[in-house]
């Protein structure tokens, strides 16, 4: 994705890296960690966030291949730039045992089906509802904020085994959730994964052996 980076952002990242060494993180993990920290000015996210590089690689491919992006609230959607998103909160209604945020997740799943990227930064009940569905997500960015249900819903996400970005503490919110998605959105497409490099090297080796 061609993107002009503002000088203020460049300087912000320079200061971030001067205060925190992120060079040991794999490429996509580093991108997510840095952009989340940049969005919140909170260095503690470096040890609070939980994710897997392999999951991020697959999610990156799905995202850039056009997989739908679903958000729990419009504030998250507003933070995701250069990409259309689905948010059904305005259409949702609460009911017995069902919050409006949870109903919005049901409506969104009916619309997009499996394989989407889900970005939840506000409502723990939205994340809880998503975990009850057979959504087969490309990725769940589960970073709801709050003292009630947030920690528990994020722990349940990690226990589910779904590909995910989460964090351990009560922290989170719309800004950091959209930042995590933007990190994948902005990251260059040209980079090959280690698996792709290995396969490419094997193919070249086989071609050489066949010629000799």
Measured at the CA of 148, the angle between CA 143 and CA 153, to 5 degrees, comes to: 45
Among 6, 24, 38, 103, the one annotated catalytic: 38
- The answer on pLDDT for 195 being more than 60 is no
Residue 79 lies in a domain: yes
What pTM value is reported for the model? 0.86
Q: Is the pLDDT of residue 196 over 90?
A: no
- What is the residue-averaged pLDDT of the chain? 90
Q: Does the pLDDT value for residue 150 go beyond 70?
A: yes
Q: Beta-carbon neighbour count of residue 3 at 10 Å?
A: 10
Q: Is 210 part of any domain?
A: no
Task: Please tell me the predicted confidence (pLDDT) of residue 191.
Answer: 47
Asked if residue 28 is part of any domain, the answer here is no
How confident is the model over 168-175, as a mean pLDDT? 97
Q: Are 130 and 153 in contact (CB under 8 A)?
A: no
- The answer as to whether 113 is a domain residue is yes
The CATH number that applies at residue 161 is: 3.40.50.10230
Question: Taking residues 100-109, what's their average pLDDT?
Answer: 97
How sure is the predictor about 112, in pLDDT bands with cuts at 50, 70 and 90?
Answer: very high
Does pLDDT of 20 surpass 70?
A: yes
Going by their DSSP bridges, the two strands 139-142 and 49-50 should be labelled as unpaired
Separation CA 138–CA 151 (nearest Å): 22
Predicted local distance difference test score (pLDDT) of residue 188 = 86
Cβ atoms < 10 Å from Cβ of 121: 27
Assigned domain for 133 exists = yes
d(CA 77, CA 85): 6
**pLDDT tens across 72-81, in order?**
999 999 999 8
Q: How far, in Å, CA of 47 to CA of 84, rounded?
A: 31
**Exposure letters 127-148 (e unless 16+ CB within 10 A, then b):** bbbbbeeebebbbbbbbbbeee
pLDDT reading at 203 higher than 80? no
Domain that holds residue 115: 50-186
- For the chain, what percent of residues have pLDDT higher than 90? 81
Per the domain annotation, does 34 fall within a domain? Answer: no
**Which phi and psi (to 5°) does residue 52 adopt?**
-125, 130
Q: What is the pLDDT of residue 201?
A: 53
Within a domain: 192: no
β-pairing verdict for 164-167 and 49-50: antiparallel
pLDDT tens-place string over residues 113-148: 999 999 999 999 999 999 999 999 999 999 999 999
**Number of domains forming the structure of the chain:** 1
* 82 vs 150: CA distance, rounded Å: 28
Give the model confidence (pLDDT) of 81-102 as tens digits: 889 999 999 999 999 989 999 9
> Within a domain: residue 13?
no
Average pLDDT on 170-198 reads 79
User: Is 187 a residue of the active site?
Assistant: no
Q: What pLDDT is attached to residue 4?
A: 73
């Amino acid at each position: 994705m061609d993107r002009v980076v503002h000088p203020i952002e460049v300087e912000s990242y320079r200061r971030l890296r001067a205060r925190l060494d992120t060079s040991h993180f794999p490429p996509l993990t580093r991108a997510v960690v840095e952009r989340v920290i940049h969005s919140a000015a909170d260095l503690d996210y470096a040890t609070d966030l939980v994710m897997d590089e392999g999951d991020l690689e697959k999610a990156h491919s799905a995202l850039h291949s056009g997989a739908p992006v679903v958000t729990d609230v419009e504030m998250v959607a507003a933070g995701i730039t250069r990409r259309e998103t689905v948010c059904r909160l305005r259409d949702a209604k609460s009911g017995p045992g069902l919050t409006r945020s949870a109903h919005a997740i049901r409506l969104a799943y009916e619309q997009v089906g499996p394989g989407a990227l889900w970005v939840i930064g506000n409502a723990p009940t939205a994340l809880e509802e998503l975990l009850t569905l057979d959504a087969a997500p490309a990725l769940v960015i589960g970073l709801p904020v709050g003292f009630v249900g947030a920690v528990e819903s994020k722990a349940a996400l990690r226990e589910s085994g779904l590909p995910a970005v989460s964090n351990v503490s009560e922290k989170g919110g719309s800004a950091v959730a959209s930042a995590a998605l933007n990190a994948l959105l902005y990251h260059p497409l040209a980079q090959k994964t280690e698996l792709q490099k290995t396969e490419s090297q094997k193919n070249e080796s086989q071609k050489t052996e066949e010629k000799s």
